[in-house]
Structure 1
Amino acid sequence: MSDLAAVDTDAAPPTPLVIAIDGPSGSGKSSVSRRVAARLGLAYLDTGAMYRAATWWCLESGVPLVDGPAVAAAVAAMPLDMGVDPAHPTVSVGGVDLAEAIRRTEISAAVSSVATNLAVRAALGRLQRAAIDAEAEPGSFSGGRGVVAEGRDITTVVAPDATVRVLLTADEHSRLSRRARDVHGSDSASAMRATRDQVVRRDADDSTVVQFRVAADGVTTVDSSALDLEQTVQAVLDIVERVSGRTP
């Protein structure tokens, strides 16, 4: 069975569970969050994809990213749709599937300009909270079971009252290596150099408006530097079980 196979959702749901996972680029937030969501029968919300979609929308619409008010206005009008199935998460704007487009180098290079716009963060934060709240409803994807939401400031600003809050981190070399393998299929020295901007520079830019390097009060740190994906998933599931009593 696939790691991302959802559990049976026919039974009556327990109390909604919100798991918030924060951390720097390349720490494994997306991969871990998807698998945790699938194991627990929860929805999955990739908030980072929302900022990437906003960047694509502005570039596609010809909005200069240096014009903060114009960017904020464009994002407020963006027809964004987020699919929250952890097995097949989707992101689209105006019916255009952006799954591949938002991972392109030009989006990665420009996204911090949008993500550090405080008006944009406020607008997308409202959408993120609405998506999280929606998963408490019986008619939602999770059937009211809840959601795993991951991304910058999710544990502190967007969902500070989440049932479980985790800061997933790793040392710089591990994060560069992972991102290089994801983007280039190799963690050779040249591939790691090519992804350094996406990891180190983006973290430096984003940290000017968001705290995601050190765990806030009530947030549990998981250092994945010496862990593989399955070990990291299990570490998060152990925290979920300890805090909420919920097991896969």
Structure 2
Amino acid sequence: MDGPSGTGKSTVARRLARECAVPYLDTGAMYRAATLAVLRAGLGPDSSARDVVLAAAQARIESGTDPAAPRILLSGEDVESEIRGAEVTGLVSAVSAHPEIRELIVGRQQELIAGAVASDGGMVVEGRDIGTVVAPDAALKVYLTASDEIRAARRGAQDRKAGRAADAATVLAAVRRRDHLDTTRTVSPLTAAADAVVLDTDHLSVDAVLDELRRLVGERGLVR
């Protein structure tokens, strides 16, 4: 399941994984953890590519796959809450754009997916390059989309619920900035796979999106 920030893919991906009784993988959290490692190394937007890549490559990142309690570990520390903060959010697209970092993390993601398929029969995976790069042979690819304004409103509500400041204009600008960075990067840009089902969530509730996902899963005979 791919799509830009604020389309609701994390929420529906976790719920779909629970309903299908399969593991869940938030690939974006792995890039956020790598970004946190870069920040903890005292690096930032103006740091050299070599230093950023080295800090991310040396980070020990472990991703949980339980949809009921998603978590991400950095050097054994649960950083699920910290990686959602503004500092990480502002830098994650730039860090994720480094080819060496993507190659390293995509390899780990593919290992997790292969293990889940072998032991659990499948996995719900969400991110920005799943259908195009990470799992191009997936039995079902879905690309969620929504307008900038709707996505910014959702992101702002999510931030406020988590106790983070969320000025509407600032959130909208951040959403558009990240969209630009994610869609224009040279390696693994955000785009819908040619065979993905594109689902506009502008006027759909979470339950309505889930209904459509259930239909697609059943249509392809993916329910065990």
TM-score of the two chains, using structure 1 as the length reference: 0.83
User: In the alignment, which of 172, 194, 202 is matched to residue 178 of structure 2?
Assistant: 202
Partner SS for 1:135 = helix
- The answer (yes or no) to whether the contact 1:48–1:151 under 8 Å persists in 2 is yes
How far did residue 64 of structure 1 move?
A: 4.5
Query: Could you tell me how far apart the structure 2 residues matched to 1:182 and 1:64 are?
Result: 25
How far did residue 40 of structure 1 move?
A: 0.2
Say if 2:38 is the partner of 1:62.
no
Q: 1 or 2, which has the higher strand percentage?
A: 1
Query: Could you tell me how far apart the structure 2 residues matched to 1:71 and 1:137 are?
Result: 34
Partner of 1:153: 129
Partner of 1:99: 80
Q: What are the ranges of 5 or more consecutive residues in structure 2 without an aligned counterpart? A: none
- The aligned amino acid for 1:135 is A
Query: Could you tell me how far apart the structure 2 residues matched to 1:191 and 1:242 are?
Result: 42
Larger deviation, residues 50-59 vs 232-241: 232-241
- The aligned amino acid for 2:31 is Y
Q: Matches of residues 29-178 of structure 1 in structure 2 within 5 Å?
A: 29-65=9-45, 66-138=47-119, 144-178=120-154
Query: Could you tell me how far apart the structure 1 residues matched to 2:149 and 2:173 are?
Result: 13
Kindly report the root-mean-square deviation, in angstroms, between the aligned alpha carbons of the 2 structures: 1.7
Query: Could you tell me how far apart the structure 2 residues matched to 1:69 and 1:148 are?
Result: 33
Partner of 1:216: 193
Say if 2:7 is the partner of 1:27.
yes
Q: 1 or 2, which has the higher helix percentage?
A: 2
How far did residue 136 of structure 1 move?
A: 2.1
- The answer (yes or no) to whether the contact 2:141–2:193 under 8 Å persists in 1 is no
Residue deviations 1:81-124, cap 9 Å, x none? 11110000110111111011101111111111201111111111
Residue deviations 1:138-179, cap 9 Å, x none? 3xxxxx222111011111011100111110111112111111
How far did residue 74 of structure 1 move?
A: 2.2
Partner SS for 2:62 = strand
Query: Could you tell me how far apart the structure 1 residues matched to 2:110 and 2:116 are?
Result: 10
Query: Could you tell me how far apart the structure 1 residues matched to 2:112 and 2:212 are?
Result: 26
Say if 2:222 is the partner of 1:246.
yes
TM-score of the two chains, using structure 2 as the length reference: 0.91
Partner of 1:7: none
Query: Could you tell me how far apart the structure 2 residues matched to 1:114 and 1:211 are?
Result: 13
Percentage identity across aligned positions?
36
Partner SS for 1:81 = strand
